[in-house]
Amino acid sequence: MKVRSLCTTAAWLLLLPLCLHAQESAPKSRWVAGVGVGFSMNPYTPRDSVQGEREANLIPVEATLEYRLSRLFSLTASFSYGQLHTSSIQSQLLNTTPYPFFYAYRIQTVTALIAPRIQFRIWQGDLGVALGIGRYRQWYDQKSNSVNNQQYLIKYKGVNNDFFSFRMDYTYWPQRRFGIAVGLEATDSFGGPGRNAFPEPRQPLPGGLEPQVAAVLQPRLAVYSSTTIWAGFRYRF
């Protein structure tokens, strides 16, 4: 027991200079900028009347700007962009040759978020927790191939919706101005057009594609609910 206590004391004595260095005052500027990349699991997947929800993973990129109100509190704004492609879906419509037989989605998503944040100094970094509200916009493109190899492309109008965000991250500062951040974010949408709403086509339907078939294949909007792992860099001005 005494040996363990001595080892623990020695470890704390070795870490003490780093902890004291970490508590030094930050640069005079309160602004912190950052860029990052994420991995979202099962984000805002489309629904269709044939196969139901389609799951897909997304790799978004983001830019952040933070203003430090005090040592503990700050205000953060972030912007992100990502797109995903679903795998080809085999339609269960009709076996007649003029009708689409395989189709897939391309979904682009842009988000803007503002969030108050609280952070605690731990070792040579900051552990932060943020709860924010944001708005996203999505664009759906659907590509269909009929059994006679004729291709159809339908582009749908963008749709807006609002969402909540809860995020926890840790930023390690190896230097006074340069940091490395990792975090976990959970989002969930609210309001907007609703889960079963349909986006409208941006242009007339392609020739040869019958309207009743396009209506059956038209995607339903799914809720913006995802879990994202983030990693990136921070810079204090």
CATH code for the domain of 91:
2.40.160.20
74 close to 60: Cβ distance less than 8 angstroms? no
Tell me the H-state helices in 135-226: 211-217
Query: When comparing pLDDT for 17 and 160, which is higher?
Result: 160
What are the two backbone dihedrals, phi and then psi, of residue 32, each rounded to the nearest 5 degrees?
A: -130, 125
Evaluate whether residue 2 is within a structural domain. no
Place of tokens 């059994």: 147
Contacts of 203 (CB under 8 A, 6+ apart): 155
pLDDT digits (tens, 9 = 90+) for 83-100: 887 766 666 555 554 555
Bridge partners, 236 (sequence order): 32
Query: How many separate domains does the chain show?
Result: 1
Evaluate whether residue 70 is within a structural domain. yes
* pLDDT in the model for residue 155: 85
Q: What are the Cα distances from residue 222, in Å, to 7, 124, 219?
A: 55, 41, 9
Whole-angstrom Cα Rg for the chain? 24
- Shortest CA distance to 219 belongs to which of 96, 98, 84? 84
Binning pLDDT at 50, 70 and 90, where does residue 222 land? low
Q: Round to whole Å and give the CA distance between 91 and 209.
A: 15
* pLDDT in the model for residue 171: 95
* pLDDT in the model for residue 147: 58
Evaluate whether residue 62 is within a structural domain. yes
Evaluate whether residue 199 is within a structural domain. yes
* Beta strand pairing call for 151-155 and 100-122: unpaired
Residue 177 one-letter amino acid: R
Evaluate whether residue 23 is within a structural domain. no
Query: When comparing pLDDT for 173 and 145, which is higher?
Result: 173
Query: Which residues form the domain of 215?
Result: 32-236
pLDDT digits (tens, 9 = 90+) for 46-80: 555 555 555 667 889 999 999 999 888 999 999 99
Evaluate whether residue 116 is within a structural domain. yes
Here the tokens at position 103 are 């189709």
42 close to 226: Cβ distance less than 8 angstroms? yes
Q: Round to whole Å and give the CA distance between 16 and 30.
A: 26
Question: What average pLDDT does the chain have?
Answer: 77
Evaluate whether residue 37 is within a structural domain. yes
Evaluate whether residue 135 is within a structural domain. yes
pLDDT digits (tens, 9 = 90+) for 27-36: 567 899 999 9
Q: What are the Cα distances from residue 87, in Å, to 76, 144, 200?
A: 35, 12, 22
What residue ranges in the chain does DSSP mark as E strands?
Answer: 31-41, 47-48, 52-53, 61-68, 73-85, 89-90, 100-122, 125-146, 151-155, 159-172, 178-190, 226-236
